[in-house]
C-alpha cells in the first residue's frame, strides 16, 4: 500500500463531520513534528485549527485545507459504510475521500519526500488546517488568518487542496473564485379567503413581475478571468398549507455569485431599485460570505502547471468557476493563491470516492511544485 493511500484511509476512517476534527489534525501533526515543524493548534469555539511551519525564511509556501467533511446522508444508501474506507475497482470509497482527505494526505507525503531530499531547503513550508470549512466557516481559517495577520505573517504561495480536477487529474487549477452574496427577502401581502381575492393581497402575485425582471437582468458581462455575475433563487415559500387561503407573506432566498465587475453595493442597489419599481412592501436581509479574488498567472501557477505537465502529461486550465472555498479568507495574507486537487465528480455525493491511481501522482505534483518554488 502506498504511503499516501495509507494516510488517506486513516483520515477517512475518522468521523470528522463539520465542525469536528475527530483527531485528523493530531494524526497529521505527529508526522509533521518529525520533520521539524513548529505546531500551533488554535481552537475557536468547537473548531480545531492548526498552523504548522518549518523554517522562518522567505518565500513561504503554504498548503491549506480542511479536515471536516459534510454529513454522509442516508447511510443505507451507501455501497459501503461511509467512514470505513473500502477499495473497489481501483477506487477508494468513503466520505471525504475526494473532499479533501486525499489532498491532505498528499500534502504530508509530498513534504516528507521533499524534506528527505532537501533537508536544508531555502524558504519555509507551512500547513493551515481547519475543521470549519464545510460548515458556517466563522471559527476556522478566517480566525487563523486574523491571528497571522495581526503578527505580520505573510504567505508568498498558497495551494488549497480543494478537488478542482474535472475529467482527469490535473486538468483544472482554480486561480480565483467568485464572490457570494445572499439575500433573504420577505414580500408582505394580506392573508384572506381564496374565494374573496378582493379582500386580500397575494404576495406571490405581487412578487412575480419583479422576480421575472430580476431573473432576466444582466448584472455584468464578466471579464477575462470571470464569467458574468449570476443571480439565482434557491428557495420560495408562501402559504399555510391550506388550499383555500391566500398567503400573507412570501419568503424568497436568493444568491449572487459575482465577479469583480460588480460590487456588493451596486448589486444591492440594483435589487432594491427593481423591488421598489414594482411597489412591493418588503424586507430584505443581506449576507456576504465571500469577496471575489484572483491570482494572475505568475510564479505559482507556472510552477504548478509545469509539475502537472511533467507528472501527468496534462495541460492545466486556469478557472474561477465553482463555489467558495477558504481561499477567500487566506488570500488576504497570500500574495499568490490557487486551488488544486483530485477529480471532483463525487464530492458531497453518496458513495464519494477517489481514484487510487491518482494519489501518488497528486503527491508528486505537490512535491515537484515545492522543488520549483523553494530552490
The residues carrying an active-site annotation are 68, 133
Whether the CA torsion 310, 312, 315, 321 is positive or negative: it is: negative
Q: What gap in Å lies between CA 218 and CA 317, rounded to an integer?
A: 27
Residue 68's alpha-carbon distances to 16, 172, 198, 290, 291, in angstroms, are: 5, 23, 53, 20, 23
Q: Beta strands of 56-161 (E only): which ranges?
A: 60-66, 86-88, 91-93, 124-130, 155-160
How far is residue 12 from each of residues 101, 175, 232, measured CA to CA in Å? 7, 27, 34
- Contact of 250 with 204, CB cutoff 8 Å: yes
Asked if 17 and 71 touch (Cβ cutoff 8 Å), the reply is yes
- CA-CA distance, 346 to 352, in Å (whole number)? 5
Judge if the upstream peptide bond of residue 100 is cis by omega within 30 degrees of 0.
yes
Whether the ω angle into residue 59 lies within 30 degrees of 0, i.e. cis, is yes
Q: Are 41 and 25 in contact (CB under 8 A)?
A: yes
Burial class (CB in 10 A: 0-12, 13-18, 19+), 314: middle
Amino acid at each position: 500500500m502506498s504511503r499516501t493511500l495509507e494516510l488517506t484511509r486513516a483520515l477517512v476512517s475518522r468521523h470528522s463531520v463539520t465542525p469536528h476534527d475527530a483527531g485528523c489534525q493530531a494524526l497529521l501533526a505527529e508526522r509533521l513534528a518529525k520533520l521539524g515543524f513548529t505546531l500551533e493548534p488554535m481552537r475557536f469555539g468547537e473548531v480545531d485549527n492548526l498552523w504548522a511551519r518549518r523554517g522562518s525564511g522567505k518565500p513561504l509556501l503554504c498548503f491549506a485545507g480542511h479536515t471536516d467533511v459534510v454529513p454522509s446522508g442516508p447511510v443505507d444508501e451507501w455501497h459501503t459504510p461511509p467512514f470505513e474506507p473500502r477499495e473497489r475497482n481501483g477506487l477508494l470509497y468513503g466520505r471525504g475521500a475526494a473532499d479533501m482527505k486525499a489532498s491532505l494526505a498528499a500534502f504530508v507525503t509530498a513534504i516528507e519526500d521533499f524534506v528527505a531530499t532537501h533537508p536544508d531547503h531555502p524558504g519555509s513550508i507551512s500547513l493551515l488546517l481547519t475543521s470549519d470549512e464545510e460548515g458556517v466557516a466563522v471559527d476556522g481559517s478566517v480566525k487563523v488568518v486574523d491571528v497571522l495577520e495581526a503578527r505580520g505573517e505573510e504567505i508568498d504561495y498558497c495551494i488549497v487542496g480543494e478537488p478542482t480536477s474535472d475529467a482527469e487529474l490535473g486538468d483544472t487549477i482554480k486561480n480565483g473564485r467568485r464572490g457570494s452574496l445572499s439575500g433573504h427577502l420577505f414580500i408582505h401581502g394580506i392573508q384572506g379567503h381564496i374565494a374573496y381575492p378582493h379582500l386580500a393581497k397575494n404576495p406571490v402575485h405581487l412578487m412575480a413581475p419583479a422576480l421575472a425582471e430580476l431573473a432576466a437582468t444582466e448584472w455584468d458581462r464578466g471579464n477575462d478571468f470571470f464569467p458574468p455575475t449570476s443571480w439565482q433563487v434557491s428557495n420560495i415559500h408562501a402559504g399555510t398549507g391550506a388550499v383555500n387561503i391566500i398567503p400573507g407573506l412570501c419568503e424568497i432566498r436568493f444568491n449572487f455569485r459575482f465577479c469583480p465587475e460588480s460590487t456588493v453595493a451596486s448589486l444591492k442597489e440594483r435589487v432594491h431599485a427593481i423591488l421598489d419599481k414594482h411597489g412591493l412592501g418588503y424586507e430584505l436581509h443581506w449576507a456576504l460570505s465571500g469577496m471575489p479574488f484572483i491570482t494572475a498567472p505568475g510564479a505559482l501557477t507556472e510552477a504548478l502547471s509545469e509539475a502537472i505537465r511533467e507528472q501527468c502529461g496534462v495541460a492545466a486550465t486556469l478557472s474561477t468557476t465553482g463555489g467558495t472555498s477558504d481561499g477567500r479568507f487566506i488570500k488576504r495574507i497570500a500574495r499568490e493563491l490557487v486551488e488544486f486537487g483530485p477529480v471532483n465528480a463525487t464530492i458531497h455525493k453518496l458513495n464519494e470516492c477517489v481514484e487510487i491511481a491518482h494519489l501518488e501522482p497528486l503527491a508528486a505534483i505537490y512535491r515537484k511544485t515545492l522543488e520549483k518554488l523553494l530552490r
